[in-house]
């Protein structure tokens, strides 16, 4: 008996699109996935080389930070080792640009690096690697990378002012940098800052990945002091175990000038 | 002359891995990408059918929300139409689980849907679709979907309490739900809430996608009142144009009990 998921649910009026779908979807509601899982093999890369690829990837057709970091890892494996790396639909990684379609959620460079890891390692292996990368990012003074003579034609040459990102969120990382440097979020300088940050994240992500491949990965960054305090009541099994995050609590929960009421007596 | 990117940078000691890399990487620093871009063709799907796929995908090997939403879109295209959809390394989409490795950044279901869009549309076409989905999400009272008799064996049957998510961030969406319902973040009920939310996001994402394919997509959700107020000074070209986000400003900048100083006189 050939039956689609939808027919199995008793919903009438569905269109069965050929026998293939019916066959692969089976006769029950049981979920199956056909592809191989976590089967790609990671390869060690050169963080210095890939930093520049990530930087230039940022500017390539305006695909941005997430694409740049991902291509600096998986794209280079594709150029060097071919399939399956080279078959990835790379331009999909534009998804993380400006924190996903200008929303300022996750920093796209971090998303690109975490997505690359996810091609090679399942969550038990991957989560500590991502956590190390994100905790390093929260404390980093960006940008670190300077392309010098290799500055992209679309970019800005010379030194760029820096700030501590404070958060894996694009909104906080970018807006804090803009606020502290008084450079507009829509400026060419801010774009160059994020291109260089993409280089930084690509290089750090590869450093972590290379150590993992060598069996030498060890986390250097622990919980922030704020996290340690907050989980005393909000951690798993505690009296108000409602918290879902590993982000530092300080930017949004410390009563800073940025998180006080901006809708009342705001200059 | 065969030379790697790294050699072109004048960095000594690099290993050139065969002629293929050197040939594809070229002799200059110019960035190139070899794959076809934005070349996948989207297909209309049934939001009701895919909602259940997204829901069960959430529980499949614990791959979570991002995988569930993405598989409910691209996975179903793969089951129905084969390549290139079926060749995507789907388990990579576990990357968004719990807001990326438990960090509570972007809601993984939203990331899964936005990533699916990014296979079919470049940013100019895609950004308004993502914005519509995210703005709908911010105001939605989750979960809406109820699997009834089709409740996953790993899930929780029956009604689930609801809350307005308020944000595309996993941390706010989940922790607000937990705080309002007094159900722990690490509980089975919270997992079921997120599985059902994955179904909701999958269905809404397909509704937007189908309208786009039909040439009938039109945004229904505008900026929030808070956004309209804040961009008067913080928007592009204004006196303090430091803002990078489209998220509603209210959760973090309205002086609510959640964003006041938690490190002083906190119960």
Residue of A66, A100, A126 to mutate, interface with B, max B Cβ within 10 Å: A100
Put simply, the answer to whether B4 touches A49 (Cβ < 8 Å) is yes
Q: Which pTM value belongs to this model?
A: 0.89
Q: Which of A215-219, A221-225, B80-84 has the lowest mean pLDDT?
A: A221-225
* pLDDT on residue B26: 36
Q: What is the mean pLDDT of residues B139-153?
A: 97
Rounded-to-integer distance, Cα B81 and Cα A18, Å: 10
* pLDDT on residue A100: 98
Q: What average pLDDT does chain B have? A: 87
Cβ-Cβ pairs closer than 8 A, A with B, add up to 320
Q: Minimal Cα–Cα distance from B176 to chain A, Å?
A: 8
Put simply, the answer to whether B31 touches A53 (Cβ < 8 Å) is yes
Rounded-to-integer distance, Cα A249 and Cα A239, Å: 18
For B256, nearest residue in chain A (alpha carbons): A261
Rounded-to-integer distance, Cα A136 and Cα A115, Å: 17
Rounded-to-integer distance, Cα B28 and Cα B42, Å: 36
Q: What is the mean pLDDT of residues A201-228?
A: 94
Put simply, the answer to whether B253 touches A258 (Cβ < 8 Å) is yes
The residue count of chain A comes to: 267
Name every chain A residue with its beta carbon within 8 A of the beta carbon of B150: 9, 29
Rounded-to-integer distance, Cα B114 and Cα B93, Å: 12
* Option in B48, B62, B99 nearest A11 (CB): B48
Is B14 a residue whose pLDDT tops 80? Answer: no
Q: What is the mean pLDDT of residues B36-54?
A: 90
Name every chain A residue with its beta carbon within 8 A of the beta carbon of B29: 52, 56, 150
Put simply, the answer to whether B90 touches A249 (Cβ < 8 Å) is no
Residues A96/A66, Cβ–Cβ less than 8 Å = yes
A163 by DSSP, 3-state: which? Answer: strand
Is A258 a residue whose pLDDT tops 90? Answer: no
* pLDDT on residue B214: 98
DSSP 3-state percent helix, strand, coil across chain A (nearest 5): 50, 0, 45
Q: What is the mean pLDDT of residues A249-262?
A: 82
Structure tokens at B50: 């895919």
The count of other CB atoms within 10 Å of the CB of residue A65 is 30
Phi-psi region of A156 (alpha: psi -120 to 50; beta: other; left: phi over 0): beta
| Element (DSSP H or E) covering residue A19 | helix A18-25
Residue of B178, B201, B244, B255 to mutate, interface with A, max A Cβ within 10 Å: B244
Q: What is the mean pLDDT of residues B55-66?
A: 97
- Percentage of the residues of chain A whose pLDDT score is greater than 90: 69
Q: Minimal Cα–Cα distance from B263 to chain A, Å?
A: 6
Quickly tell me which residue has 């909602």 as its tokens.
B51
- The model's pLDDT over B176-211, given as tens digits with 9 standing for 90+, comes to 999 999 999 999 999 999 999 999 999 999 999 999
Q: What is the DSSP letter of B100?
A: T
Put simply, the answer to whether B245 touches A99 (Cβ < 8 Å) is yes
Q: Minimal Cα–Cα distance from B220 to chain A, Å?
A: 17
Name every chain B residue with its beta carbon within 8 A of the beta carbon of A249: 262
DSSP string, B192-230: HHHHHHHHHHHHHHHHHHHHHHTT---------HHHHHH
Report ipTM for this prediction. Answer: 0.88
Rounded-to-integer distance, Cα A255 and Cα A236, Å: 25
B106 by DSSP, 3-state: which? Answer: strand
What is the signed CA dihedral for B74, B79, B84, B86, rounded to 10 degrees? Answer: 80
């Amino acid at each position: 008996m050939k039956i689609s998921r939808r027919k199995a649910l008793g919903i009438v009026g569905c269109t069965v699109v050929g026998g293939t779908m019916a066959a692969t979807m089976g006769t029950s509601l049981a979920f199956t996935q056909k592809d191989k899982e976590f089967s790609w093999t990671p390869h060690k890369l050169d963080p210095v080389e890939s930093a520049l690829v990530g930087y230039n990837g940022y500017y390539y057709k305006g695909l941005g930070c997430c694409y740049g970091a991902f291509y600096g890892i998986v794209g280079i494996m594709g150029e060097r080792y071919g399939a399956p790396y080279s078959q990835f639909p790379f331009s999909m990684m534009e998804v993380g640009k400006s924190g996903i379609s200008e929303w300022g959620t996750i920093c796209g460079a971090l998303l690109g690096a975490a997505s690359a890891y996810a091609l090679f390692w399942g969550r038990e292996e991957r989560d500590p690697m991502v956590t190390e990368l994100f905790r390093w990012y929260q404390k980093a003074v960006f940008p670190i990378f300077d392309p010098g003579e290799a500055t992209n034609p679309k970019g800005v040459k010379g030194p760029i002012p820096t700030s501590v990102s404070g958060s894996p969120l694009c909104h906080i990382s970018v807006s804090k940098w803009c606020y502290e440097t008084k450079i507009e979020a829509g400026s060419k300088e801010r774009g160059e800052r994020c291109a260089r940050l993409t280089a930084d994240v690509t290089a750090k992500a590869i450093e972590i990945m290379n150590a993992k491949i060598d069996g030498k990965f060890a986390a250097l960054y622990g919980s922030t002091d704020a996290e340690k305090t907050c989980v005393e009541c909000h951690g798993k099994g505690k009296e108000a175990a409602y918290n879902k995050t590993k982000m530092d609590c300080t930017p949004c929960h410390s009563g800073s000038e940025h998180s006080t009421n901006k809708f009342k007596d705001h200059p």
